[in-house]
Amino acid sequence: MGWWLRGGALLALCATVAVLLCAPSGPHFRLVIDASFGQAAIQADGPALAPLIVLTEAAQQSGAVCLDGSPAAYYFQPGTGAGAHNWIIHFEGGGWCTSLEDCVLRAGDSLGSSHGWPRTRHLTGHLSRDPAVNPDLHTWNAAYLPYCDGASFAGNVSQPQSSGGQSVFFRGAAILDAVLADLMHRGLHTAQRVLVTGCSAGGLAAYLHCDYVAARVGGGAVTKCMPDAGFFMDAPDVWGQRRMEGLFRAAVEMHNVLGNVNEACVAALPARDAWKCFYAPYSASFVQAPLFIVNPLFDTWQIANLVLGGRAAPEWDGCRYSLAGCTREQGAVLRAFADQLAARALSTLAAASGDGAFLFSCFLHCPNLDNDDWWQQLTIGGTALREAAADWVLDRGGDHFHVDKTSDYERGTNPSCGISV
Ligand X SMILES: *[C@@H]1O[C@H](CO)[C@@H](O)[C@H](O)[C@H]1NC(C)=O
Q: Say what angle helices 201-217 and 172-185 make with each other, to 10 degrees.
A: 50
Which residues in the 249-268 window bind ligand X by CB under 6 A? 259
CA triple 348-353-357, angle to 5 deg: 55
Grouping H, G, I as helix, E, B as strand and the rest as coil, residue 239 is coil
CA distance 43 to 173: 28
Contact range with ligand X by CB under 6 A, out of 109-117, 169-177, 287-295, 390-398:
169-177
CA distance 197 to 294: 10
Q: Which is nearer to ligand X, 63 or 94 (CB)?
A: 63
Closest approach of ligand X to the CB of residue 222, in Å: 25
* Options 68, 177, 299, 372, the catalytic residue: 299
Closest approach of ligand X to the CB of residue 162, in Å: 20
Distance of CA 62 to the CA centre of its chain: 22
Question: How many C-beta atoms surround the C-beta of residue 189 within 10 A?
Answer: 13
Closest approach of ligand X to the CB of residue 107, in Å: 19
Using CB under 6 A, which of 11, 53, 54, 173 touches ligand X? 173
Count of positions on this chain that bind ligand X (CB under 6 A): 5
* Options 115, 365, 400, 402, the catalytic residue: 365
Q: Which is nearer to ligand X, 28 or 344 (CB)?
A: 28
Reply yes or no on whether 109 is catalytic: no
Contact range with ligand X by CB under 6 A, out of 123-131, 173-181, 187-195, 229-237:
173-181
Q: Which is nearer to ligand X, 177 or 404 (CB)?
A: 177
Closest approach of ligand X to the CB of residue 9, in Å: 26
Q: Is 177 in the site for ligand X (CB under 6 A)?
A: yes
97, 161, 222 from 225: Cα distances, Å: 25, 33, 10
CA distance 72 to 58: 8
Q: Is 404 in the site for ligand X (CB under 6 A)?
A: no
Q: Is 376 in the site for ligand X (CB under 6 A)?
A: no
Closest approach of ligand X to the CB of residue 27, in Å: 11
Question: How many C-beta atoms surround the C-beta of residue 26 within 10 A?
Answer: 9
Closest approach of ligand X to the CB of residue 114, in Å: 18
Binding mask 269-288 for ligand X (x = CB under 6 A): --------------------
Beta bridge partners, 71, equal: 65
Residue 193, φ and ψ in degrees, nearest 5: -130, 140
Closest approach of ligand X to the CB of residue 156, in Å: 4
Reply yes or no on whether 365 is catalytic: yes
Q: Which is nearer to ligand X, 71 or 296 (CB)?
A: 71
Distance of CA 364 to the CA centre of its chain: 16
Q: Which is nearer to ligand X, 106 or 209 (CB)?
A: 209
Q: What is the DSSP letter of 49?
A: S
Q: Which is nearer to ligand X, 149 or 177 (CB)?
A: 177
For the chain, give the number of residues. 421
Q: Is 174 in the site for ligand X (CB under 6 A)?
A: yes
CA distance 7 to 116: 13
Identify each DSSP E strand in 278-421 by its residue range: 292-299, 356-364, 379-380, 383-384, 401-403
Closest approach of ligand X to the CB of residue 326, in Å: 45
Which residues in the 122-161 window bind ligand X by CB under 6 A? 156
CA distance 86 to 290: 16
Q: Which is nearer to ligand X, 217 or 294 (CB)?
A: 217
101, 216, 230, 359 from 171: Cα distances, Å: 17, 18, 21, 32
Q: Is 66 in the site for ligand X (CB under 6 A)?
A: no
379 neighbors 332 (Cβ within 8 angstroms): no
147 neighbors 93 (Cβ within 8 angstroms): yes
Contact range with ligand X by CB under 6 A, out of 22-30, 171-179, 309-317, 406-414:
171-179
Reply yes or no on whether 255 is catalytic: no
* Options 70, 128, 152, 200, the catalytic residue: 200
Q: Which is nearer to ligand X, 178 or 235 (CB)?
A: 178
Residue 196, φ and ψ in degrees, nearest 5: -100, 125
Helices first, then strands: H and E counts in the chain: 12, 14
Binding site for ligand X (CB under 6 A): 156, 173-174, 177, 259
Catalytic residues: 200, 299, 365
